[in-house]
Chain A
Amino acid sequence: MYEVNKTEPFWWGLFSLGGVVAALFVPIHIIMVGFLSAEAVGYHQMVALVGNPLIKLYLFTLVSLPLFHAAHRLRFALKDLGLKVAGGLLGVFLYGGAVFGTMVAAYIVATLP
């Protein structure tokens, strides 16, 4: 009668990881890029930085995981408001958006100089 749900751990896992990134790394990133002296984060320094594959991976993670966090949180917030969308259409729309954003992020990061 009850069946183990095999997809939710995947979405919840991304939600959970995204939460860590959004809460911990996004503020650090904002402080570093937004508030450090302009010389420290000048154009040429930044270009040199993003050439590093590890920084590319960091930027990709920084964008992608919080998107999944947001998608899951939004889905649950709408559920709390009583919105029932049959057949998981809401999930397709929200997680689909996160997947799309992830692909865009991957493309941009990959084509950076």
Chain B
Amino acid sequence: MSAKKITMRVTRYRPEQEDAPTEQAYELEFPDDWVVLDALNYIKDDVDGTLTFRWSCRMGICGSCGMMVNGEPKLTCAAFLRDYYPAEIRVEPLQYFPIIRDLVIDMTDFLHKLKAITPWIVRDEEKPLAEGEYLQTPAQLADYKQFSMCINCMLCYSACPVYGHEPEFIGPAAIALAHRYNLDSRDEGQEARQQVIASSEGIWDCTLVGECTEVCPKRVDPAMAIQRTKVATTTEWAKSMLMPWGKQ
């Protein structure tokens, strides 16, 4: 195993000793199968135990290790060092989020938005347990399955220039998840969600840049979810204008 050498420039921010984030360079040897997260763990274990970052599964399922790698939002468990070698690698916390420490961002804003779209199955009336499960055909599952693959890694927020300019934007992942529940045949919560996603901070804030879909590690396509919701909302709006007696 021939080891190559690479330099990683990592954002450091220790609020108790500095006012603004700085950068620290680490030079390390790496085997061919290392990803950025492996390198960060190597630094933490063997070089500098104070480096702080989030991670858990190492296999693109937990959504914790999202960072900016050379300016691009990436899951660091899926970003191979060999793809960047021999250039340097810049590792920064996800952009547009407040930094808590080093590579750890504050996700409170995202969690509020996630909760606002009621991301669970809503029933007007729950049927008694004795009546069994809510059944679904494979076709009904296929309708929303793609949008249920989101792992809340927030890469799409870091990729979205609208979120960068207007932090009140509900954002790609939350809208895609609202779309997922709206498409679910078992769900009856569309109206409550519509209040949130059809607001100025919801779908109408999106300028169809499409970067959310580009960076999504799970191929969720939030951009499509947003555009579909725009079409549906506009159609409903036009119907209510043409036939005001039709609704309610």
Contacts and interface: CB of A to CB of B under 8 A. Distances in A.
B237 interface: yes
A84 B161 CA distance: 13
A9 B241 CA distance: 11
B217 interface: no
B238 A5 contact: no
Nearest to A16: B234
A5 B231 contact: no
A13 B238 contact: yes
A82 B165 contact: yes
Contacts of B196: 2
B199 A9 contact: no
A79 B162 contact: yes
B47 interface: no
A76 interface: yes
A80 to B, nearest CB: 5
B187 interface: no
Contacts of A82: 165
Nearest to B204: A8
Given A9-B233, A9-B238, A80-B207, A3 B161 contact: no
Contact of A80 (B162, B194, B202, B204): B162
Interface centre among B204, B208, B231 (most CB of A within 10 A): B204
B201 interface: yes
Nearest to B161: A80
A84 B168 CA distance: 14
A103 B208 CA distance: 29
A76 B165 CA distance: 12
Nearest to B208: A76
Contact of B195 (A2, A10, A13, A16): A2
B209 A80 contact: yes
B9 interface: no
Contacts of A2: 116, 195-196, 199, 201-202
Interface of A: 1-6, 8-10, 12-13, 16, 76-77, 79-80, 82, 84
Interface of B: 116, 161-162, 165-166, 194-196, 198-202, 204, 207-209, 230-231, 233-234, 237-238
30 contacts: A1-B116, A2-B116, A2-B195, A2-B196, A2-B201, A2-B202, A3-B199, A3-B200, A4-B195, A4-B198, A5-B202, A5-B204, A6-B237, A8-B200, A8-B204, A9-B234, A9-B237, A9-B238, A10-B237, A13-B234, A16-B230, A16-B234, A76-B207, A76-B208, A79-B162, A79-B207, A80-B165, A80-B209, A82-B165, A84-B166
